[in-house]
Chain A
Amino acid sequence: MTVSSPYPCHREALVREVHHRIKNHLQGLVGLVAEQARQRPECSDCLDYVATQLRSVAIVHGLQSRQPNGDIRLCDMLDEMVIAMQRSQPTGRVELAFLLERGSVRVADDETVPIALITNELLRNAAKHGGAEGDIRVTLAEVRDGVTIEITNTGQLPMEFDFAGERGLGTGLTLIRALLPRRGASLAYSQSGGRASCQLTLAPPVVSRVTSDAMSS
């Protein structure tokens, strides 16, 4: 977002305020959609799905309203996405672990909404297939060129499922495929014992390391 002002501090405050208001409006829309879902139980599945997507974009604007320069840190985004998922869907135990210094990874401005929507889909899938009794583990770890978000859940991947070969993709995975950045991002699925796992790997230019000075500021 570009806002012109001769006073940088005013510009900064204005940008944050705009993000804050967009977040509020989107949350208002989430409320309206949720109301419709309650009134029309036959449509509640798809309306709830739309609400999670709106909520994901609201999370992005909420984070941009809080950080200097609208920076979004991947840890903060994951934190909020996991909380939102737990509120919107019945899930068993959910563990979130950061195996890196919190706040050390920044998401590129242009990629914040796509990454939030992709993460929303992955978490929804984990909750849906893991079931209300299963458990979900979300781990953010460093890899050689960037970071990996691994989401595992109890359950089995369908036999015909092949993300790389574009076989067995539903609406959500088709959206992921369309939103996945062409450079600096990849998604892989695997099965280990009774757990299904997906690994979303992000590297520059999608994410970047934040210096210690910037983290403390």
Chain B
Amino acid sequence: MSARQSLDQRMETGPCVVLVDDDRLVLHTLGQGLRAAGLRVFAADCGAEAVRLCRTETPDLAIIDIRMPETSGIEVARQLRTDTTVPYLFLSASCDSDLVDIVVQEGAVGYLVKPLDASQIVPAIRVAIARAADLATLQRKEAGLRLALANNQKTSIAVGLLMERHRLSREEAFDALRSRARRERRKIVDVAAGILAGVEELLLRPPDAKSERARVGPAEPS
């Protein structure tokens, strides 16, 4: 196997990054160094191209130079945050604390100060990719927990309504809700949401309609 083939194979399997720097010499040398270290590198010499590559290639990480003409690195990061889930770290020749504060606020997973040696920054890139993956997992879990909490709230309110309307105990009200869900082959939370929607609709009706509904009486919870 030739050295070139070997490098290509590693490039196929290594982490994928989008590298953006308006200095083409830095872009070339750093890009070649990262490729030699086994990373798959898509190079961009402007912010707009970097955003396009992040959308089409969905890399593991974007490595963004802060100071660029037209679209700045900070603006690239904002677009990535809005349009993609690609994590990013910044490159800069400056370690000015105000700039670091901005980078922290922009949600970067890292900050590297130039001049950079490719072999030295590879560990930082791998760590940033791993932490970004952890963060994405935590965000997914949080979204799941929020949904579960919201569903629980709906079910609890619906149980409370049934208890109040029909003078049932908590267990009886919940059993009634569950029985109806089974009978209609729906989720308990969907039945609960239906009850809440019905009450909301009733509350929003004009007084006459409400009194008419009151004479008819509430639907059997069953």
Q: How far is the CB of B42 from chain A (nearest CB, A)?
A: 13
Judging by beta carbons under 8 Å apart, are A114 and B25 in contact? yes
Whether A175 is near chain B, meaning CB under 8 Å from some CB there, is: yes
Once the chains are docked, how many angstroms separate the CA of A175 from the CA of B25?
8
> In angstroms, how far is the closest chain A Cβ from the Cβ of B68?
12
Out of B25, B27, B31, B43, name the residue touching A117 (CB < 8 Å). B25
Per-residue A-contact encoding for B103-145, CB less than 8 Å = 1, 0 else? 0000000000000000000000000000000000000000000
**A179 near B28 (CB under 8 angstroms)?**
yes
- A113, A117, A178, A179 — which one has the most chain B CB atoms within 10 A of its CB? A178
* Residue B8, interface by CB 8 Å: no
Q: Does B75 belong to the interface (CB within 8 Å)?
A: no
Minimum CB distance partner of B69 in chain A: A110
Please provide the chain B residues from 17 to 68 with a CB less than 8 Å away from any CB of chain A in the complex.
24-25, 27-28, 31, 43, 45
Query: In the assembled complex, how far is the CB of residue A159 from the closest CB belonging to chain B, in whole angstroms?
Result: 19
Q: Which residues of A contact B27 (CB under 8 A)?
A: 178
| Chain A residues touching B, majority SS | helix
Contact present for A179 and B25 (CB under 8 Å): yes
Q: Please indicate the chain B residues that have their CB under 8 angstroms from the CB of A117 in the complex.
A: 25
Give the distance to chain A from B139, nearest Cβ to Cβ, in Å: 36
Shortest beta-carbon distance, B72 to chain A, in Å? Answer: 16
List of B residues within 8 angstroms of A175 by Cβ: 28
Most chain A CB neighbours (cut-off 10 Å) among B24, B25, B27, B45: B24
Say how far B27's CB is from chain A's closest CB, in angstroms: 7
Contacts of B43 in A (CB 8 A): 178
The residue in chain A whose Cβ has the minimal distance to the Cβ of B24 is A179
Is A144 on the interface with B (CB-CB < 8 A)? Answer: no
Residue of B nearest to A175 (CB): B28
In Å, the complex CA distance between A181 and B28 comes to: 13
Which residues of chain A have C-beta atoms less than 8 A from B24's C-beta?
A: 114, 178-179, 181
Question: What is the CB-to-nearest-CB distance from A104 to chain B, in angstroms, rounded to a whole number?
Answer: 26
List CB contacts (< 8 Å) of A110-142 with chain B.
113-114, 117
In the complex, chain B residues whose CB is within 8 Å of the CB of A114: 24-25
Which residues from A are CB-within-8-Å of B25? 113-114, 117, 178-179
How far is A179 from B31 in the complex, measured between Cα atoms in Å?
Answer: 13
Within the complex, what minimum Cβ distance (angstroms) separates A185 from chain B? 11
A182 contacts partner chain B, Cβ-Cβ < 8 Å? yes
Within A180-208, which residues are at the interface with B (CB < 8 Å)? Answer: 181-182
Show 16 A/B contacts (Cβ-Cβ < 8 Å), sorted by A. A113-B25, A114-B24, A114-B25, A117-B25, A175-B28, A178-B24, A178-B25, A178-B27, A178-B28, A178-B31, A178-B43, A179-B24, A179-B25, A179-B28, A181-B24, A182-B45
Known: A175-B28, A178-B28, A179-B28. 13 other contacts (CB 8 A): A113-B25, A114-B24, A114-B25, A117-B25, A178-B24, A178-B25, A178-B27, A178-B31, A178-B43, A179-B24, A179-B25, A181-B24, A182-B45
Q: Can you list the 6 inter-chain pairs with the closest CB atoms, starting with the nearest?
A: A178-B28, A179-B24, A114-B24, A178-B24, A175-B28, A179-B25
